[in-house]
Amino acid sequence: MSQETAPPEPKKPIGRPTLRTIAEMTGFAVTTVSRALADDPRIAKTTRETVAEAAREVGYVPDRAARRLRTGRTQVVSLLLNTDHEFLGFTHEILAGITEALRGTGYSVTVVPDSLRGDRLEQVREILRNHLADGLLFTRTECFDPRARLMMEAGFPFVTHGRTEFTEPHAWVDFDNEAFARMAVERLVARGRRRISLVPPDDRFTFTQHLRYGFVSAARAAAVDHEVIQDVTIDQPMSQVAEILRQRCTEADAPDGYVCVGEATALVALGALADAGVVPGRDVDLVSKRASPIFDHIRPRIETVFEDVRATGKVMAEMLLRRMEGEPPDQLHHLFAPEGGFSMPPH
Amino acid sequence: MSQETAPPEPKKPIGRPTLRTIAEMTGFAVTTVSRALADDPRIAKTTRETVAEAAREVGYVPDRAARRLRTGRTQVVSLLLNTDHEFLGFTHEILAGITEALRGTGYSVTVVPDSLRGDRLEQVREILRNHLADGLLFTRTECFDPRARLMMEAGFPFVTHGRTEFTEPHAWVDFDNEAFARMAVERLVARGRRRISLVPPDDRFTFTQHLRYGFVSAARAAAVDHEVIQDVTIDQPMSQVAEILRQRCTEADAPDGYVCVGEATALVALGALADAGVVPGRDVDLVSKRASPIFDHIRPRIETVFEDVRATGKVMAEMLLRRMEGEPPDQLHHLFAPEGGFSMPPH
DNA sequence: AGTGGAATTTGTAACGTTTTAATTACGCAG
DNA sequence: CTGCGTAATTAAAACGTTACAAATTCCACT
């Protein structure tokens, strides 16, 4: 409006376009441009269109730092990554799911190490204190997970992989490990097995309880012998698991069926059995959960149920987005069923 | 100065401490505090100490958004994550290494999806244009990697996992795959194998050339038959690899030794051989690289060389830190040797 | 006592955005 | 015409930090 004939305009020869760039292009004030881009109804529809057009033309992208400074929102979500253990693709898959859900939202995901050794809360506290993220995702959830408690107290958005036993609701995504364990037992029983064994995860995790319950109750219902290995968990070094299994599978009352919670455990169990000269499919059977396609190629073939970790990550991130928009956590949870049941690899 | 007697001062009842908090505590100006915390020699030593003490007392942590807005530095590094393939712990390990190196530096790492399908440059361009990070890490490097080229042109700090063939130097970390391939061939030859096969990665990757060269030249030197499988690469679906191997290993001139580049390939190869009734250790031998401890438990046992992916991530991140501080890339590279050579799992 | 200069400190502006409060324009009833 | 409510836009302030230029203090030396 100020002038019809454009002055020399030797301005901003470099640098990304900013609100001011668009303001000068269109003749509106910076405030107006900001509001127009936010589709604020107080701004005239025609103005909004003009501004949007100009923004598109110069490829305007709001500056994250400036927005963050002003609004206090970081546009970041963090994933707590357990650095102790190997999960054969778990991290990869869950991150693929998370980034897929976040694509186009402007949010990015940072990875924060989280060791079971040492204080699990330290990292979370730092994120809360220094506002390093707008929301948090974490796995390996405990029954009364102190991280979850801390974040509920702080009113900070988060989604857990795995449930807790708090009465106050929070967002979670989980795999139905109870159903998995039940099906696993039934499958082994259907194959004629009568002494069934489970190598459990660490007792502190909620899903360990689910597994154990499903396992024990299905075994009781089928009236078969069963045991939950006592001296070792799959969260200890795999060599220890192998050691215990090698020993156990040659004892007089050795199990004839094994339920494995994950791929790593299954591989270790297969190795231990092989070392002891026990032949899967003949002497014993083994069933497992699987999270990657690699299991189709493991020999001897074993029956597995697929847990879609990528989908898990995707749903977790989607839920977190809704939480961060203020949606209450009451309805935000999803339980993945062991879909399709057990199956043997093809060919 | 306006008033000597302090007014009611109903200020900042809440919120994190800021530079102003410390300024008011110590009586210095905000600028001084800022400089003092940066250990600027222009500020008196005593002042620096006073300020540091006050900062410690209130637990001051600089606001990232404000600093970022002012300086233009994001305090973020990004890792390009290939979402197509499964690497059995690769992602987990490299991230563990990266976060370990970044601990305490104030930098955090974001994960950005990067698919071989589609434009590999899109994500990088966005990071450059919108200043989403101060530095970039990526894997699966190609000979004339367009991502590397783009970033060299932009003068943007980055470290690759794997070398390129550009003449202009850049920071890289790599595993000596040529030496690995050479040793692998020698190991198979030492076991009496005379027809050796390699299932290669996709030809576009630089390390494929290294592998191929080491493989071929060692085989020639040992005067043994050798072949690089033509019809499939380990970057195609694993079922295709399995299919080809199942077929190949029963032909009249079937190989009697296999070099596997990674755990996934080795497992698939073991499965394919088993399906075809070929017995490793008797009919053929198989050697592989390994990046996780899981291979100690795979049966039949095969000899492996360890590639320390966690250490790789750590070194990459450390290099990136130095690059971001302005150090030229000339000397910034590290080649991991296949240390210790091949070994058989214990027990 | 005066002066130059180093040492130390400080006020102001800026980064790009959103928010608060204020301003302008305009149609319409009194 | 005046006054006024509403719609549309805007100027100014603020978020917390660092950079620039200027101001102040302190000494040593003439």
Domains and CATH numbers, chain B: 19-62 (no CATH), 72-175+310-336 (3.40.50.2300), 177-306 (3.40.50.2300)
Tell me what the pLDDT averaged over chain A comes to.
92
Cβ-Cβ contacts under 8 Å between A and B: the total is 161
Give the pLDDT band (50/70/90) at residue A14.
low
Chain centre to alpha carbon of residue B155: 20
- Read off the pLDDT of each residue in A191-209 and give the average, rounded to a whole number: 97
- Asked whether the beta carbons of B243 and B231 are under 8 A apart, the reply is no
Phi, psi of B178 (to 5 degrees): -65, -50
- Residue B146: cis peptide before it, omega within 30 degrees of 0: no
Phi, psi for residue B32 in degrees, rounded to 5: -60, -45
Residues of chain B in contact with residue A264, where contact means CB-CB under 8 angstroms, are 294
Q: Are B145 and B158 in contact (CB under 8 A)?
A: no
Distance (Å, whole) CA B192 – CA B257 = 9
The span from the CA of B262 to the CA of A194, in Å, is 38
CA distance B335 to B317: 15
Phi-psi region for residue B78, left (φ > 0), alpha (ψ -120 to 50) or beta? Answer: beta
pLDDT, mean of residues A40-66: 96
Q: Residue B293 carries which DSSP code?
A: G
Contact B100 A83 (CB under 8 A): yes
| CA A237 to chain CA centroid, nearest Å | 23
Angle, CA of B6, B12 and B17, to the nearest 5°? 110
- Tokens (6 digits) for A346: 């093809």
CA Rg, chain A, in Å? 27
Q: Which residues pair with A111 in a beta bridge?
A: A79
**Residues B123-139: b if buried by 16+ CB within 10 A, e if exposed:** bbeebbeebbbbbbbbb
Instruction: For B89-130, write each residue's pLDDT tens digit.
Output: 899 999 999 999 999 999 999 999 987 777 779 899 999 999
Q: Pick from A59, A91, A103: which is nearest to B95 by CB?
A: A91
Mean pLDDT on B229-240: 93
Q: Which residues of B touch A69 (CB under 8 A)?
A: 63, 65-66, 69
Report the alpha-carbon distance of residue A189 to residue A183 in Å, rounded. Answer: 10
Q: Nearest Cα to B254, choosing from B230, B232, B278? A: B278
Neighbours of B66 (CB within 10 A): 15
DSSP type of residue A346: P
Q: Is the pLDDT of residue A103 over 60?
A: yes
pLDDT score of A88: 78
Distance A22 CA to C28 C1' (A): 36
Beta bridge partners of A138: A160
A7 DSSP 8-state letter: P
Q: In whole angstroms, how far apart are CA A313 and each of A121, A158, A308, A334, B193? A: 22, 13, 9, 12, 45
The pLDDT assigned to B14 comes to: 57
DSSP secondary-structure letter at B297?
G
Question: Looking at the complex, does the CB of residue B270 fall below 8 Å from at least one CB of chain A?
Answer: yes
Whether the CB-CB separation of A273 and A244 falls below 8 Å is answered with no
State the pLDDT confidence band at B88, using cuts at 50, 70 and 90. Answer: confident
Q: How confident is the model at residue B7 (pLDDT cuts 50, 70, 90)?
A: very low
Distance (Å) of CA A251 to CA A161, A229, A244, B227: 37, 14, 11, 47
Q: What is the pLDDT of residues A125-152, one digit of tens each?
A: 999 999 999 999 999 999 999 999 999 9
Instruction: Quickly list DSSP for A240-298.
Output: HHHHHHHHHTTSTT--SEEEESSHHHHHHHHHHHHHHT--BTTTBEEEEEE-SGGGGG-
User: Between the CA of A71 and the C1' of D18, what is the distance in angstroms?
Assistant: 20
pLDDT score for B295: 87
Contact B286, B270 (CB under 8 A): yes
Mutate to test the interface with B, among A245, A246, A297 (most CBs of B within 10 A): A297
Instruction: Name every chain B residue with its beta carbon within 8 A of the beta carbon of A95.
Output: 81, 91, 111
